[in-house]
Structure 1
Amino acid sequence: MEIVLGTYQSYIIPFFNKDGEQKQQLIIHFIKKNRLSISIAVVLFGVYRMFDNITKPPRNLRHIPQASFFGYLNAFIKKVPIAEVADKYTLPASLQSEHGLYVRFDNNGWSVRINNPAIAKQFLIRTDIFPKASVSTDREGTLYGKFAVGPNVAFINGSHWKAQRKVMNPAFHRSMPVNLFGKLTLKLFNTIDASIDKPINFPDMTTRWTLDAIGLAAFGFNFNAICERDNTWVQRYNAIMSNSINPLYLVFPFIDRKLLFMLPKRRQLHEELDEFLAMIRKMIADKRHLLKERNEPNIADREKDLLTLMIEAENEGNGVLTDEELQSNLCIFILAGHDTSSNALSYIAYYLAIHPDIQQKVREEAIQVLGDQPIDFIPTLEQSRQFPYLEMVIKETLRICGPAASMVVRTATKDTELGGVFIPKGTRVSVDIFESHRNHRTWKSPLTFDPERFAPGGEAEKLSKLGTAFLPFSDYARKCIGMNFSLAEQRVFIPMLLRKYEISLPEDSIHKEKIITNGLIILSPKDLYLNFKRLY
């Protein structure tokens, strides 16, 4: 304050009392005497403008409510549980307006987020105006980019996407390896029985089960995770996965590209990924050779792995995928089908454990279909579709605790609008799945676990007429191609599990009051231990 007043008295007041030449000399004298102060002021002003531009949305998005820049970014980097982030930052931002749109800064930069069923439907249908955002340049050379981003169905658009789906649709339509899922479940029972006298880390069990399931069902590779939890391939895969979605490298990808020489541990992870990708390329080459020589074992179509079925679809004239495209798609199948399915199974087990009446109802349905003999049964494909109440439980679990928090971002290809809100060309847009499923404007008592929402004529069916309120697998043209695959895993695993065991939550569980999750992208239950009691 004193500096400001001194400058005002010494220069500004005299300035208005002098003639032109004297004014010029006064200005020169002021600049010479205060050169350092002026330089500092210019630098600080520049820093302020830059800081202001970074911490605030682009000017053409400032008409939309904003989630706290520092609050959300700090939570993202620190891996604060998604429920806490939703309560503090994202849901409040979306509730500032009737349309439910808000903007936030995360690993996608500034993006508009949707939390409104009608607008979500409008957005998902318009794939011509809102194609998937190109992230290959941003992620090129990073651990995540090398593993997940590439010429695969999750990220490509237009004719390229349609050509790949033409090959994949027959494969996913024919593949439904329920017998494989059943056999892996029997193997898991042995692991559970070996530790049944104490609480069991259930996500650890389901993570191992789904890794074996996706490896065998996707490309015929056995990780053998159920029986050997720490073998080389399991350790390699787990290291790659846990580190590829490290928030620090997602927000600042240049570190993963340019500074590896300073990060030996990170460099080692890239080498581990190179080994993993080499294994997949070998599986592709071997499978092509087997099918060319017609040496593939004669097994039912639905039990064949997806790689086999895709190559067969090529041979039947449905198109051709390069080895690079096959590799990229197998990686995205693993990424999308491993942790997400594992977490879905864990969440179902949790909600069944804290709702014994619902657990018993699912068990009775399983016994009705599979019988009450005290022996293990693997459901047939037809039987796996005869569990209507289990289907309601699965859907309610995916609503209240879906394993994915949001969708891949899309980019507006022209100036447009969503729900009457102007969206400029080039804006990145996505749907918040987690927040949409917990929005009290949409769902009644959204934090209450209630499978009856999904009964015929229930709340979910009524909401479907108003827009897209339930979207754990996205919807419309870009709906997850592996949706039925994931649901089949759950329809086999849960009935077999409940016929054999009664599940309960330990008295000292950290989840006694509510489920506690990890992650802001893929949501997993933290340290979920369950008690198991054998029924036969």
Structure 2
Amino acid sequence: MYRLISLAALLGFAYALALAIYRLFFSPLAKFPGPKLAAVTGWVETYYQLCHGEGGQFIFVYKEWHRKYGPIIRINPWEVHISDSCFFEVLYFTNRPLRKLPHLAKVFENESSGFSTVDPELHKIRRKALSPFFSKGELLKRGPRIQSAMDRLSERLERDFLGHTDRVICINDMWSVYTADLIAEYAFERRYNFIDRPDFKADFTEAMFPWFIDLLKALPNSVLESLHPHIAAFNKFKADILEQVRIAKTNFEKNFCKGDTVFRAIFSSDLPHAEKSIERMHQEAITLAVAGAETVAATLSVATFHLLHNPHIRRRLDEELAAVVPDSRSSDTSMPSLEILWQLPYLTGIINEALRLSYGMYARIPRTSDTPIQYYEWIIPPGVTFSMDIAPAHHDERIFPDSYTFKPERWLNSPQAFDGKLLTRYLLSFSRGTRRCLGMQLALAEMYIAIPSFFSRFDADLFETDLTDITFVRDRFAPRPKIGSKGVRVNRLKARGV
């Protein structure tokens, strides 16, 4: 037995040594600079993501590696990372077919959705079926529906919070239920009334993050629901969506497909029959329901903080809104159309700055290509994983001077970056290329309606909230602030002009 154990240990050591030698000297990535230990093992990344400090620190570690080794480095045995703001648009170019990594496509348990599709050609087909549903023209038609969700939120605030100086509102939660309700009504013509939840706590938004997925796969629902109260609500939500898909499919097959839902858009498209299966439709619907809820809420929370924290920004917004928004004391409480709001330059600057400082996605964006990728003298071979990040571009001081400061005015008058390109070309919160966020126009519409509606109707004070509550110091796929942060919170909500 001892000899067998010794032999197994020796063979294991020999294999590990041979693998290390291969990765250091013979791998297609061996020529790229970077720390040798990271080139040998992926445990370096695992350590910084799970064990170092508050976790989620690897993004900051390889930022330091870039300073030492240059703009293109090897960050693990399989992946090359590039830090060059000007190259983002080149790498994720619209006409370059890039593949998602298969294991990442399974993270959210929605492999059949357009979001998680690995093959670029299949992704193109799936995206084409949904694109008209989220076009700018379609959003202009549906603007009143978006405004309706915001009006219901305003009514809830007036009913339960206005004048109650001791009541604290978590702005992150408030915007989460607004976006969740809005997406459900926009895509499914179904109202879940998350806005009416006590203290704006919508269980399903608490239960949709990646770290739950392995548990969801490994344990029965009954066990999960007893361990975590949010899981039951999320499962109920998923079951309801599944039932809607089944009904929509049955109605379509009977030539009775009523309503203007995402289901009708897909069933009426020229997608192959296999692409219209109940299971794939269910995954697509769940992805649409949850994908934009947190990111839009985070952006609105950043905007809310800075508008309350910086009176001069709030005053300038008020001055711009005064020309188009009825006075809060007027009998006419209707808000201007989305088309009018889209044209307000300072409001646009606020939204762009909030997008820039909330990033959208914090994690790097890994892809592979079937053709070589050239970065100056470096050639990334076909099939090799490469990645870039959004955050470094948003804090490139050549492009955004004083980049950590919230400055809406930097977006006024169609500004250009140092290289002559429009500054908006470097706003990457929705990514770039063929994988650009499908719901970008809907997300923007939500923000263009939410900010004027809230700030033309209400005043509030920040409550036990400072810049650290919106400063992201951890990569958990989405950006996260310090551990223990309770988010952006306000109290003393009152009506404008009172």
> In structure 2, do the counterparts of structure 1 residues 152 and 476 end up closer, same or farther at CA, with 3 Å as the change threshold?
closer
Question: Normalising by the residue count of structure 2, what TM-score does the alignment of the two structures yield?
Answer: 0.80
Partner of 2:243: 282
Shift of residue 206 of structure 1?
A: 0.9
Distance 2:423 2:408 in 1: 20
Distance 2:93 2:334 in 1: 42
1:258-407 correspondence to structure 2 within 5 Å = 260=219, 264-265=223-224, 276-290=237-251, 294=256, 296=258, 304-311=260-267, 313-314=268-269, 321-323=275-277, 324-374=279-329, 376-406=333-363
The one-character-per-residue Cα deviations of 1:60-97 (angstroms, maximum 9, x if unpaired) are 324233596666433422596799655x4132223335
The one-character-per-residue Cα deviations of 1:102-122 (angstroms, maximum 9, x if unpaired) are 3335xxx84323321232122
Match for 1:171: what amino acid? F
Partner of 1:241: 208
Shift of residue 493 of structure 1?
A: 0.5
Is residue 205–residue 290 contact of structure 2 (8 Å, CA) maintained in 1? no
> In structure 2, do the counterparts of structure 1 residues 126 and 424 end up closer, same or farther at CA, with 3 Å as the change threshold?
farther
Partner of 2:437: 480
Match for 1:296: what amino acid? K
For residue 175 of structure 1, the aligned residue among 125, 129, 138 is 138
1:185-224 correspondence to structure 2 within 5 Å = 185-193=150-158, 194-195=160-161, 196-198=164-166, 199-224=168-193
Partner of 2:61: 89
Distance 1:226 1:366 in 2: 25
Is residue 260–residue 267 contact of structure 1 (8 Å, CA) maintained in 2? no
Match for 1:204: what amino acid? D
Match for 1:117: what amino acid? S
Shift of residue 373 of structure 1?
A: 4.5
Based on CA coordinates, which of the two structures has the bigger radius of gyration? Answer: 1
| 366-375 vs 203-212, which moves further | 366-375
Asked if residue 130 in structure 1 is aligned to residue 130 in structure 2, the reply is no
Partner of 1:74: 47
Partner of 1:184: 149
> In structure 2, do the counterparts of structure 1 residues 430 and 267 end up closer, same or farther at CA, with 3 Å as the change threshold?
farther
> In structure 2, do the counterparts of structure 1 residues 368 and 466 end up closer, same or farther at CA, with 3 Å as the change threshold?
closer
Is residue 83–residue 388 contact of structure 2 (8 Å, CA) maintained in 1? yes
> In structure 2, do the counterparts of structure 1 residues 126 and 83 end up closer, same or farther at CA, with 3 Å as the change threshold?
same
Superposed CA RMSD: 4.1
Distance 1:121 1:229 in 2: 43
Shift of residue 438 of structure 1?
A: 1.9
Is residue 396–residue 449 contact of structure 1 (8 Å, CA) maintained in 2? yes
Distance 2:62 2:478 in 1: 17
1:358-507 correspondence to structure 2 within 5 Å = 358-374=313-329, 376-406=333-363, 408-440=365-397, 442-460=399-417, 464=421, 469-506=426-463
Is residue 398–residue 418 contact of structure 2 (8 Å, CA) maintained in 1? no
The one-character-per-residue Cα deviations of 1:153-186 (angstroms, maximum 9, x if unpaired) are 4424343223223321222225323222222222
Shift of residue 55 of structure 1?
A: 10
Distance 1:163 1:38 in 2: 55
Distance 1:441 1:185 in 2: 38
> In structure 2, do the counterparts of structure 1 residues 467 and 364 end up closer, same or farther at CA, with 3 Å as the change threshold?
closer
Shift of residue 132 of structure 1?
A: 2.7
What SS does the corresponding residue of 1:411 show, helix, strand or coil? strand
Partner of 1:14: none
Asked if residue 520 in structure 1 is aligned to residue 485 in structure 2, the reply is no
Distance 2:318 2:424 in 1: 33
Match for 1:515: what amino acid? T
For residue 87 of structure 2, the aligned residue among 96, 113, 119 is 119
Shift of residue 128 of structure 1?
A: 4.3
> In structure 2, do the counterparts of structure 1 residues 214 and 419 end up closer, same or farther at CA, with 3 Å as the change threshold?
farther
Is residue 302–residue 357 contact of structure 2 (8 Å, CA) maintained in 1? no
> In structure 2, do the counterparts of structure 1 residues 115 and 229 end up closer, same or farther at CA, with 3 Å as the change threshold?
farther
Distance 2:461 2:57 in 1: 26
Identity %: 19
Asked if residue 511 in structure 1 is aligned to residue 467 in structure 2, the reply is yes
Question: Normalising by the residue count of structure 1, what TM-score does the alignment of the two structures yield?
Answer: 0.75
Shift of residue 411 of structure 1?
A: 1.0
Distance 1:384 1:80 in 2: 43
Shift of residue 395 of structure 1?
A: 0.9
The one-character-per-residue Cα deviations of 1:4-42 (angstroms, maximum 9, x if unpaired) are xxxxxxxxxxxxxxxxxxxxxxxxxxxxxxx89986983
Is there any run of 5+ residues in structure 2 with no aligned partner, and where?
none
Distance 1:520 1:152 in 2: 22
Shift of residue 283 of structure 1?
A: 0.9
Shift of residue 510 of structure 1?
A: 4.5
Distance 1:55 1:505 in 2: 52
